[in-house]
Amino acid sequence: MKLTILGCYAATPRTFTNPTSQVLEIRNHHFLIDCAEATQVQLRKNKVRFTQINHIFISHLHGDHFYGLIGLISSFTLLNRTGDLHVYGPKGIKEIILLQLRYANSYTGYQLFFHELESTASEVIFEDEKVVVKTIPLKHRVYTNGYLFQEKPAERKLDPDAVRKYKIDICYFQNIKNGKDVTLEDGTVIPNEKLSFDPPAPKSYAFCSDTVFTEDYLDIITGVDVLYHESTFLESEAHLSERTMHCTAKQAAEIALKARAKQLILGHFSTRYDSIEHFREEAMAIFPATDLADDGKIFEF
């Protein structure tokens, strides 16, 4: 998995900081998560090819998370995109985008599918042979979802030495990769674990932004490998945090601890602070495996 942070600051775009948007590369997918104003410029700056983006997940309909969507959809048309585009987001997103395309009299030249969400329970919204994506219902000022991206277990790896030793015919290889034992012509059964290695453990990534501090979604993210969690404020601004339904760095760390996450990435920083390092310090006191997002930063796990 590779995570490219296009923007990770709260509220308004500024000269040197961008609101929320990120690209998760997972098993050959390039999932765009949130799409704040000028995300298309951030994609260009970070050299993410537009044609790689086929699925866009929008957490909620606040501007700092989706005002760049209409521009990206329009630019795809201007650049003669042909591939399907799937947009997942709160109910209303389709109406907002189509209204603007209608007034511009410029409908997309490609198939545009909206998957509108309104459930307050977690649901599987995308699944193929390699990846599952589930919603993480969050609590914010408007209907909001985080997203959990889970790799499915990969095929087992063939052990070339063992295969040669037991003179296994090529026609059995796919069965071995699928975990099956092999029965030789003389009736001998070679157990699968003698012929193959475990595949790399499937990884998972949870994106949680924006939300007030609550344990309601702990079950869904428990055991996640990497948790990206909003931490708009420090504890010194806990009053603002509660009022605006956001989290502090300390609260994000508590969530990571309780969810037994392996790694925490903080983001959605208020631009009021002189340095985002304060967020790391506050969180690490509770959850040491804490890292900070920043625009243009890449995480590989």
Segment interacting with a second copy, rule: CB under 8 A, options 6-14, 20-28, 156-164, 191-199: 6-14
Our finding on whether 28 is near a second copy (CB under 8 A) is no
Output the CA–CA distances (angstroms, integers) from residue 241 to 7, 38, 212, 270, 287, in the order listed.
20, 26, 8, 10, 20
Sign of the four-CA dihedral 56, 59, 63, 64: negative
- For 78-81, the CB contacts below 8 A with 24+ separation are 79/50, 80/109, 81/50, 81/51, 81/108, 81/109, 81/110
Instruction: Judge whether 225 is annotated as a binding position.
Output: no
**Helix, coil or strand: residue 89:** strand
Instruction: Write the binding mask 68 to 97 for a second copy: x where contact by CB under 8 A, - elsewhere.
Output: x-xx--xx--xx----------x-x--xx-
Tell me which of 44, 152, 258, 272 binds a second copy, using CB under 8 A.
44
Among residues 142 and 285, whose Cβ is nearest to a second copy? 142
Helical pair 277-284 and 249-258, crossing angle rounded to 10 deg: 40
Q: Which two tokens stand for residue 27?
A: 């098993």
Residue for token pair 């998760």: 24
Task: State which of positions 93-152 bind a second copy (CB under 8 A).
Answer: 95-96, 99-100, 103-106, 141-142
Cα 34 from Cα 146, distance rounded (Å): 10
- The Cα angle at residue 103 between residues 101 and 109, in degrees rounded to 5: 30
Segment interacting with a second copy, rule: CB under 8 A, options 41-49, 110-118, 159-167, 211-219: 41-49
- The Cα angle at residue 182 between residues 179 and 187, in degrees rounded to 5: 155
- Give the nearest distance from C-beta 125 to a second copy in angstroms: 19
- Give the nearest distance from C-beta 69 to a second copy in angstroms: 10
Task: State which of positions 212-251 bind a second copy (CB under 8 A).
Answer: none
For the question of residue 274 being annotated catalytic, the response is no
Among residues 50 and 213, whose Cβ is nearest to a second copy? 50
Segment interacting with a second copy, rule: CB under 8 A, options 11-19, 117-125, 163-171, 273-281: 11-19
Our finding on whether 186 is near a second copy (CB under 8 A) is no
Instruction: Judge whether 278 is annotated as a binding position.
Output: no
Instruction: Judge whether 65 is annotated as a binding position.
Output: yes
The residue from 64, 161, 186, 216 that is catalytic is: 64
C-alpha atoms less than 13 angstroms from C-alpha of 291 in its C-beta half-sphere: 17
- Give the nearest distance from C-beta 144 to a second copy in angstroms: 11
Our finding on whether 15 is near a second copy (CB under 8 A) is yes
Query: Which contiguous run of DSSP H or E holds residue 34?
Result: strand 29-35
- The Cα angle at residue 166 between residues 161 and 171, in degrees rounded to 5: 95
Instruction: Judge whether 140 is annotated as a binding position.
Output: yes
Q: Catalytic positions, please?
A: 64
Report the binding-site residues. Answer: 60, 62, 64-65, 140, 210, 268
Report the binding-site residues for Zn(2+). Answer: 60, 62, 64-65, 140, 210, 268
Residues of this chain that interact with a second copy (CB under 8 A) are 11-15, 37-38, 40-41, 44-45, 61-63, 67-68, 70-71, 74-75, 78-79, 90, 92, 95-96, 99-100, 103-106, 141-142
